[in-house]
Amino acid sequence: MSVVNHRSNKYAVFNSASESKFCFKDLRALNNPKVSFKSPLSVIAHIDLNAFFAQVEQIRLNLSSNDPIVCAQWSSLIAVSYAARAYGINRMDTIKVARAKCPDLIIAHAAVFQKGNSHWAYVPGLPDPDIHKVSLDPYRRESRKIFKVIKLFCKNVEKASVDEGYIDLGSLIYERLRKIFPEIADCEHQDDNELLPPLPDKSSSVIRAYGEIYYNKETLKLKKKDFPIRLHDWDDACILLGSQILFEIRWEIFKVLGFTTSGGVARNKVMAKLAGGFLKPDNQTIILNSNINSFLENFELDDMRSMGGKAGQLILKTLGVPTDTKSNTIAYIRDNFTLGELKDKLSNDSVTSEKIYDLVRGNYSEELTFRTDVKSMMSRKNFTSRTYVTTLKDAIDWLKVFSGDLVNRIVELDDESMNLENDDSKGTKGFVRRPKLVAAQVTTTSYVKHSKQSPIPVSKSLDKLQSTIEEETLKLLIDILDSYTYVSKLNGGQSLQELLKNGTDLKCINIVPLANISIGVSNFVKYNELNFIDTYTGKGTAFDSTALKLTGNTDRDLKAASVSESREKSTTTDEDRKDYVKSLFEKFYEQQDNTPKRNTESFRISKRSKQNHSSSSVKYNIMDRLKNMSAVRSSRTGDVMPDQEEELITDNYCNSCQQEIEDVTEHKDYHYALNLSKQFAEVDGGEDLNFNC
């Protein structure tokens, strides 16, 4: 049902129910967030923003949904509105190609940080990638507003990504059912195993379906459009009430913020996710439990959560499932394998076998994840051959951008964390997170990487945190360049520290050309807002040596990223910066005279060692294989695999895009942003601070 052109009371509902098969304990479970997803009456909604980045720009520019608009990063597209898609434009097009398809196309470039400035802004026309870094903060900010609207209705919300989420509607449905039907109003005092009464006849006058109920083609042939449906039991009533609540949420988002959404209502997250993307844009799909099997025939096993890519293909191959176009992989597994047969085929891997058995029947239920602890954040920039960083002043200007970017994300992290304060159902209290470790990495033009890390004070003040990140990463950068590069040869035999002591102009201090600079923070600790005190990690504090791995997934940094809040901008002259750096290092040298030198290490990316398997082993554990494959995938950035990255560097050719690439580093940055817009969203846990350039 569209929020733009909607009709209320979409379908009339008739009751054809007999004795219920559900118990009072099933009904009461809906009101308990810890177990509601396990109830056979469970209702989960999925909500998805339509072409979200493009919608943000459409609303910002006060355009209508009929105006063709795309969101761009440099010369590439990262989001395409539905109006623009009507012209055949897709995200693989360049701006030049897109304009050829639609001369009236509106190009809205993402906001950018300008070199030397810690605050993002929109700039007229297309920004210069040589002096700008793309900021995704405006989209995170709008996402935060949307989820705040959702949480006005329900606290049980999982933010799956910047533009989609899940809602457990159990407690809301529980309350509405008790108000509508006096027959179950006193359910708290009934025996657990006592059957619910049959659906009352009046259900046809008080329950409506909001959205498109899925039916198979055979059923639709026998029915007229907008035909009335029949409720068979309480699970049907719960699903339809869920469709009403979901529409109310989607309508409120549209009314307050102007965003259109798509939605799905079903018994669990997997089914709701499939339903949410079934009718787009601006619609919602309802999956009654009796229609699950026929609905699943529209999909394949690798369309389901956690079954995509090589993981799903490995399972299909192991089970010997035909993958020709005539066979449906979900139906084939459902019809040809018992649970015991699945366990036998999958080497008695009970967890995977039971999961697949439930998935193909639409019965796999999992609890909503309300917040995954953020372990690390990173900000980085790739530089082209035209703009390699060659002076210390250039490097300092970019450190200012990166530190501002990271603090903007921590602002959003604070907001999301403090929103838990009033959520008594999960027993959580509001808190803020602060990092205890900062790291810096540089990549030379020969693609050699050097990294160092350092503990930092834990401070509530965001301004203090930003200045600390700037100071510490600058120290690390100086240490890296002096220790591992030939920087002294570029400056008459003097090290960077000596040049700074002598007050040399920053513009005149040469460094080895850098193709990438990355800084990050990790080892986040939680503090209750009321008990927060500024602390320092202390001299001699032990830090995990694995806290700086260089083979990780930058998706984590994107998904952990947050929204920028306005803070006062400050302008700094070159002379001010020079004095600041000089005073900073004078203080630093004083500390070095009085304290032992900090033990830091340089890390390089190492090749992964292959696992040894016994040659006598006939069967293998499929979960071990899947975990290994997941670990390999988690070490890669976006869609660019290590072998493809090698080809990018040597041949200037991208296998993912199947085209020649003029600038390697810029193209890798494109994949980085594109991966966020796709939003395959699950924040990966772990305390490692990962760099992958």
In a domain, 652, yes or no: no
pLDDT of residue 532: 46
3 state DSSP class of 368: coil
- Place 11 in a pLDDT band, splitting at 50, 70 and 90: low
CA 177, 178, 183, 189 dihedral sign is: positive
Confidence check: pLDDT of 75 > 80? yes
- Which two structure tokens, joined as six digits, stand for 508? 């005149």
Residue where a domain stops, chosen among 283, 298, 313: 298
Which residues have C-beta within 8 Å of that of residue 548, sequence separation ≥ 6? 439, 451, 453, 522, 601, 603, 688, 689
pLDDT of residue 260: 96
Confidence check: pLDDT of 151 > 60? yes
Are the C-beta atoms of residues 19 and 196 closer than 8 Å to each other?
Answer: no
In a domain, 326, yes or no: yes
For residues 307 and 348, which has the higher predicted lDDT (pLDDT)?
307
Range with lowest mean pLDDT among 187-196, 301-310, 461-470, 654-663: 654-663
- Which two structure tokens, joined as six digits, stand for 604? 């390089």
Residues 311 and 457 in one domain: no
Confidence check: pLDDT of 215 > 60? yes
Residues 22 and 68 in one domain: no
Residues 561 and 453 in one domain: yes
Q: How far apart are CA 236 and CA 257, in angstroms?
A: 32
pLDDT in tens, 496-510: 999 999 999 999 999
Confidence check: pLDDT of 642 > 90? no
Nearest CA-CA partner of 674 in 158, 53, 46: 53
Range with lowest mean pLDDT among 8-22, 79-93, 330-344: 8-22
In a domain, 647, yes or no: no
Q: What is the DSSP letter of 187?
A: G
pLDDT of residue 63: 96
Residues 71 and 27 in one domain: no
For residues 167 and 583, which has the higher predicted lDDT (pLDDT)?
167
3 state DSSP class of 303: helix
Within 13 Å and on the Cβ side, how many CA atoms surround 645?
A: 17
Confidence check: pLDDT of 416 > 90? no
Average pLDDT (569-589) is: 51
Average pLDDT (629-643) is: 42
- Which two structure tokens, joined as six digits, stand for 241? 């009430």
Average pLDDT (574-593) is: 51
CA 112, 117, 120, 124 dihedral sign is: negative
In a domain, 541, yes or no: yes
pLDDT of residue 1: 79
Confidence check: pLDDT of 5 > 50? yes
For residues 432 and 400, which has the higher predicted lDDT (pLDDT)?
400
Confidence check: pLDDT of 527 > 90? no
pLDDT of residue 418: 67
3 state DSSP class of 622: helix
Range with lowest mean pLDDT among 326-335, 450-459, 522-531: 522-531
Report which secondary-structure segment, H or E, holds 133.
strand 132-134
Q: What is the DSSP letter of 4?
A: S
| Angstrom distances, CA of residue 599 to CA of 216, 479, 491, 536, 596 | 66, 12, 26, 17, 9
In the chain, what percentage of residues exceed pLDDT 70? 70
Are the C-beta atoms of residues 117 and 398 closer than 8 Å to each other?
Answer: no
Average pLDDT (333-346) is: 94
Query: Can you spell out the DSSP letters for 419-465?
Result: GGGG-GGGT---EEEEEEEEEEEEEETT--EEEEEEE--B-S-HHHH
Angle at 239 between CA 236 and CA 242, to 5 degrees: 150
Residues 19 and 77 in one domain: no
In a domain, 632, yes or no: no
Indicate the angle between helix axes 170-180 and 234-257, nearest 10 degrees: 110
CA 453, 458, 462, 465 dihedral sign is: negative
The total of structural domains in the chain comes to: 4
- Place 225 in a pLDDT band, splitting at 50, 70 and 90: low
Average pLDDT (155-184) is: 94
**147-179: buried (b, 16+ CB within 10 Å) or exposed (e) per residue?**
bebbbebbbbbbbbbbbbbbbbbbbbbbebbbe
In the chain, what percentage of residues exceed pLDDT 90? 57
Are the C-beta atoms of residues 611 and 337 closer than 8 Å to each other?
Answer: no
Longest Cα separation, the chain:
92
**490-510: buried (b, 16+ CB within 10 Å) or exposed (e) per residue?**
bbeebebbebbeeebebeebb
CA 369 from chain centre, in angstroms, equals: 13
CATH number of 81's domain = 3.40.1170.60
Query: Can you spell out the DSSP letters for 83-97?
Result: HHHTTT--TTSBHHH
**What is the 3-state composition of the chain as percent helix, strand, coil, each rounded to the nearest 5?**
40, 15, 40
Residues 189 and 210 in one domain: yes
CA 131, 136, 142, 144 dihedral sign is: negative
State the chain's mean pLDDT as an integer. 79
pLDDT of residue 278: 94
Q: How far apart are CA 462 and CA 410, in angstroms?
A: 8
- Which two structure tokens, joined as six digits, stand for 30? 């809906």
Confidence check: pLDDT of 284 > 70? yes
Q: How far apart are CA 294 and CA 291, in angstroms?
A: 6
Most confident of 368-382, 493-507, 554-568: 493-507
Range of the structural domain that residue 346 is part of:
300-370
Range with lowest mean pLDDT among 200-209, 362-371, 623-632: 623-632
CATH number of 188's domain = 3.30.70.270
Report which secondary-structure segment, H or E, holds 632.
helix 622-634
Residue where a domain stops, chosen among 93, 110, 135: 135
In a domain, 395, yes or no: yes
Q: How far apart are CA 507 and CA 389, in angstroms?
A: 11
CATH number of 353's domain = 1.10.150
Residues 357 and 406 in one domain: no
- Place 219 in a pLDDT band, splitting at 50, 70 and 90: low
Residues 489 and 468 in one domain: yes
Range with lowest mean pLDDT among 228-242, 413-427, 479-493, 516-530: 413-427
Q: In this structure, what are the phi and psi dihedrals at residue 382, rounded to the nearest 5 degrees?
A: -90, 140
Residues 465 and 571 in one domain: yes
Average pLDDT (443-449) is: 93
pLDDT of residue 673: 57
Range with lowest mean pLDDT among 20-24, 127-131, 416-420, 441-445: 416-420
3 state DSSP class of 364: coil
HEC assignment per residue over 336-356: HCCHHHHHHHCCCCHHHHHHH
Q: Checking phi first, is residue 652 left (phi over 0); if not, alpha (psi -120 to 50) or beta?
A: left
For residues 266 and 668, which has the higher predicted lDDT (pLDDT)?
266
Residue where a domain stops, chosen among 349, 370, 391: 370
pLDDT of residue 201: 77
Confidence check: pLDDT of 155 > 50? yes
Length of the chain, in residues: 693
Residues 131 and 214 in one domain: no
HEC assignment per residue over 7-57: CCCCECEEECCCCCCCEHHHHHHCCCCCCHHHCCCCCEEEEEECCHHHHHH
Which residues have C-beta within 8 Å of that of residue 208, sequence separation ≥ 6? 8, 9, 10, 11, 12, 13, 240, 244
Which residues have C-beta within 8 Å of that of residue 266, sequence separation ≥ 6? 43, 44, 46, 239, 272, 274, 275, 286, 287, 292, 362
Residues 450 and 548 in one domain: yes
Average pLDDT (281-299) is: 94
Q: How far apart are CA 494 and CA 579, in angstroms?
A: 20
Confidence check: pLDDT of 438 > 70? yes
Q: How far apart are CA 461 and CA 301, in angstroms?
A: 48
Q: How far apart are CA 271 and CA 367, in angstroms?
A: 14
CA 47 from chain centre, in angstroms, equals: 14
In a domain, 153, yes or no: no
Q: How far apart are CA 354 and CA 14, in angstroms?
A: 36
pLDDT of residue 545: 29
CATH number of 459's domain = 3.30.1490.100
Residue 475: CB atoms within 10 Å: 20
pTM confidence score? 0.74
pLDDT of residue 643: 46
Q: In this structure, what are the phi and psi dihedrals at residue 499, rounded to the nearest 5 degrees?
A: -65, -40
In a domain, 64, yes or no: yes
Residues 358 and 492 in one domain: no
